[in-house]
Chain A
Amino acid sequence: MIQHHIEACTKVPSMKEILLVGFYQPNEALSRFLVSAQQEFKIPIRYLQEYAALGTGGGIYHFRDQILSGSPEAFFVLNADVCSEFPLPEMLAFQQQCGDPHSFVMLGTTANRKQSLNYGCIVANTETNEVLHYVEKPSTFISEIINCGIYLFTPTIFQHIGEVFQRTQQELLLEDSTNGWQRAEVIRLEQDVFTALAGRGKLYVYKTDGFWSQIKSAGSAIYASRLYLSQYSQCHPERLARNSPGGPTIRGNVYIHPTASIDRSAVLGPNVSIGKGVTVGAGVRVRESIILHGASLQDHTCVLNSIVGWDSTIGRWARVEGTPSDPNPNDPYAKIDSETLFRDGRLTPSITILGCNVTIPAEVVILNSIVLPHKELSRSFKNQIIL
C-alpha cells in the first residue's frame, strides 16, 4: 500500500530520504520491503518505531531531530491509510508561489455535504487559499473541502507542535495523573495544531480534483485498488496485464505479478490484483478482488469482491464472494463510507476477507464473511466472522 506513497515521493526532484514512522513492531516482511523499495527507487528509506502510540502529530514531533538532520528546506508528511494521486510536486510549486517560505500546505479535496462531517473540514480564502478555519470531524456542516492527510511542512512546524506539547504538559500537571508525561507526547495534528494555526497566515490548502480515498476498512482497499489500477492505465499502462493469445482473458484493469501462474482459461477483472507466486487454476473467475502472495485458486473457483490472504487455498468449484461498499457513483464527490461492522445485531454485508493461510474446501460458498488466519474450513459460511 505504501509503495504508492514511496513512489510518489520519488517523483519530487530533490527528495533526499523517506522515513516511515509508526507504532508497529518491525518484522521480516517489513525489512524485506524496505530493502527492495530502496533498490527499486534508489532512495534511503528507514522505519522509525514509536515507543507508544503518539497520535497523528506526536510521532513526527518525537523524531524531529531525525527529520531535521541534513537541514531539509521542507518535508512532506503522508498518512499511510490514504489512497491518492499524490500531487506532491504541484504542492511544492504551490508553496513556493505562496510568498511566505515558511508556510505549510495541506492537500484538500471536495466531499459532499453529508460526508464532509467525517473528515477535517477546511475553510479557505478563495483567492489566497489561506486556511481561515479548520475543524476536525465537526458535528454541523462547515465546509465541503476536506483534509486529505497529506501535508507539506517546513522545519518551523516543530515550534508550533512544541507549543502544543508544552501546553498539554502544563494542563496535565494541574491534573492528578500518574502517566502525565506519556500522555503529553500524544499530539493530534488536526485538532491541536491545525485548528490553532488556522487564520494566522501560516497554513494554506492546495485543492486537488485527483482521486483520493481513505483506506480504513477492507472494503476501501478494493476501492483504492481500483483507483490505483485506473491511474496505472493512464500513466503506466505497461504495468497492467493485457490479453494475449495463450494467456488468460483480461477484462478491464488487472495487475498480475510476474511470478504468478495463471491458467489460460481463467477470466480476470475488472479491478483485480494478483500477487507474487499466486496460482490460478483452469476456468477460474476473479473480479473486483485482491489475491495476496502465494495464494492458490483451484479449478473453476469464483472469487468476487474479496481479499484472499497470503498462502491461502481455495478448493475446486468454491465460491468466495463479498458485497462491495463503493461510494455512490452518481456523486462525483462521494467518498467511501466507513462502515459499522454490525447493524441491527447482524454483520453488515461487506467484502469477504480470508486471512493468511486459510483453507477453503471444494464446492462450498463463503459469502460476506471474515475468516481469521490459519483457519481450515469444513463447510459453507455466510455473513459470519469465523474465529
Chain B
Amino acid sequence: MSGVLEGAMREQEQRLGIRISLSHEKEPLGTAGPLALARELLTESLEPFFVLNSDVICDFPFTDMVRFHKHHGKEGSIVVTKVEEPSKYGVVVCEAETGRIHRFVEKPQVFVSNKINAGMYIFNPSLLHRIQLRPTSIEKEIFPVMAQDAELYAMELQGFWMDIGQPRDFLTGMCMFLQSLRVQHPERLHTGPGFMGNVLVDPSAQIGENCTIGPNVTIGAGVVVEDGVRIKRCTILKGSRIRSHSWLESCIVGWLSSVGQWVRMENVTVLGEDVIVNDELYLNGANVLPHKSIAESVPEPRIIM
C-alpha cells in the first residue's frame, strides 16, 4: 500500500517542485505521537509548521491561518468550524475576540459551544517538547495542557467543512466541494445537454449518449459511462466503467470497477477497487470489498467480503 502512496507523492513532488518526505509509523502512535517521530524533519527550520488531518475537506485557508498564528504569537493555532450538532464531536470553548482557547469538552450533553475542531493546526516547533514518542492523543493529552498554559488559539473557518472519513459524509463533502467550485471556478465544472447541477468530469472520461449526469457527480480519469446511464450524487473513480442503462445515486465506485447493464445502486453503495457488478442487479447500501464479483442483488445494506 505504501508503495502506491510513495509513487503518487513522487509525481506530486515533480509537479509542484517541492520536497515531500514520508514518515512511516511502525506501530500506531495516535494523533500526537507521529509528530515526535518526525521531530528531526519538523525542527530543520525554526518556522512554525502546519499539521493537517487528511480526512477533511474545506477551502484550506492556509494564508489566513498563517496570518492568524503570527498575530497572536503563541505556540499553537487550531482551525474550528461551526456545526449544527456539536454533541457528535468534541467542542472548543474559546474567547470570542481573541480566539484564545479555554477548554475542550468531548461530546457535551448540554450546549456548551457550537465550534468544533476542524482538524487543521499550526504549531511552533517548541510544541515538540510536549510530545513523547509513544501513542498519544493530541486532543486529549496535549491540547488541554496548552489551553491551560494559554498557548492555544482558535481561528474560525469561513466556508464549508466536512469530515469525510465515512462514505456517507464523503459524498456530502463532495457536494459541498462542488458547490464551492461553482462559486470560485465555475469553468472547471462540466455543462451541456444531459448534465444537471454541479458535475466534475475528467477530460479523459467518455460519456455515452442519452445519459443524464448530476447533480453532484465527480467522474475520474479514463472512466467510461455507456449510453442511457443516470448518475446522481456519486463519485466514480479512475478507470471504472458504468455499462448502459444503469441508475446510480449516492454511490462511490472504486478504481477500475465495472458496473453492469441495468444495474441500480443507491443509498451509499461503495465498491472497492476492481469490483465487478453483474447485469441487472440491485444494490442498496452494499459495501463491497476490493476484487469482489457481485452476482446477486443486495436489497438491504450490508458488507460484502
Contacts and interface: CB of A to CB of B under 8 A. Distances in A.
Interface of A: 282-285, 287, 299-300, 302, 304, 316-317, 319, 321, 363, 365, 367, 382
Nearest to B249: A363
A365 B265 CA distance: 10
Contacts of A316: 230
A299 B228 contact: yes
B262 A302 contact: yes
Contacts of B247: 300, 317, 319, 363
A367 B262 CA distance: 15
B287 to A, nearest CB: 19
Nearest to A349: B299
Interface string B294-305: 000101000000
B150 to A, nearest CB: 55
Please classify the interface of chain B as helix (H, G, I), strand (E, B), loop, or mixed, using the class held by over half of its residues: loop
B228 A285 contact: no
Q: Which 9 A-B pairs have the closest CB atoms?
A: A283-B228, A283-B245, A302-B262, A300-B245, A285-B262, A317-B247, A300-B228, A319-B264, A317-B230
A316 B264 CA distance: 13
Contact of B282 (A284, A300, A363, A367): A367
Contacts of A287: 280
A302 B227 CA distance: 15
Given A299-B210, A317-B230, A285 B245 contact: yes
Contacts of B244: 283
B242 to A, nearest CB: 13
Nearest to A302: B262
Interface of B: 210, 227-228, 230, 244-245, 247, 249, 261-262, 264, 266, 280, 282, 297, 299
Contacts of B297: 321
B230 A300 contact: yes
Contact of B299 (A285, A317, A363, A367): A367
Contacts of A300: 228, 230, 245, 247, 262
Contacts of B210: 282-283, 299
Nearest to B266: A365
5 contacts: A283-B210, A283-B228, A299-B210, A300-B228, A317-B247
Contacts of A363: 230, 247, 249
A265 B35 CA distance: 59
B302 to A, nearest CB: 15
Contacts of B228: 282-283, 299-300
Contact of A382 (B227, B262, B264, B299): B299
A302 B280 contact: yes
A302 to B, nearest CB: 4
Nearest to B263: A302
Contacts of A382: 299
A294 B245 CA distance: 23
A363 B31 CA distance: 44
Interface centre among A282, A300, A317 (most CB of B within 10 A): A300
B280 A304 contact: yes
Contacts of B264: 302, 319, 365
Contacts of A283: 210, 227-228, 244-245
Contacts of A299: 210, 228
Nearest to A318: B247
B299 A302 contact: no
Nearest to A383: B299
Given A282-B228, A283-B244, A363-B249, 6 more contacts: A283-B228, A285-B245, A285-B262, A302-B280, A317-B230, A317-B247
B233 to A, nearest CB: 12
Contacts of B280: 285, 287, 302, 304
A217 B268 CA distance: 35
Interface centre among A282, A284, A319 (most CB of B within 10 A): A319
A382 B284 CA distance: 11
Nearest to A319: B264
Contacts of B282: 319, 321, 365, 367
Contacts of A367: 282, 299
A310 B245 CA distance: 25
Given A285-B261, A287-B280, A302 B245 contact: yes
A282 B227 CA distance: 10
B190 to A, nearest CB: 20
Interface centre among A316, A317, A365 (most CB of B within 10 A): A317
A361 to B, nearest CB: 13
Interface centre among B247, B261, B266, B299 (most CB of A within 10 A): B247
Contacts of B299: 367, 382
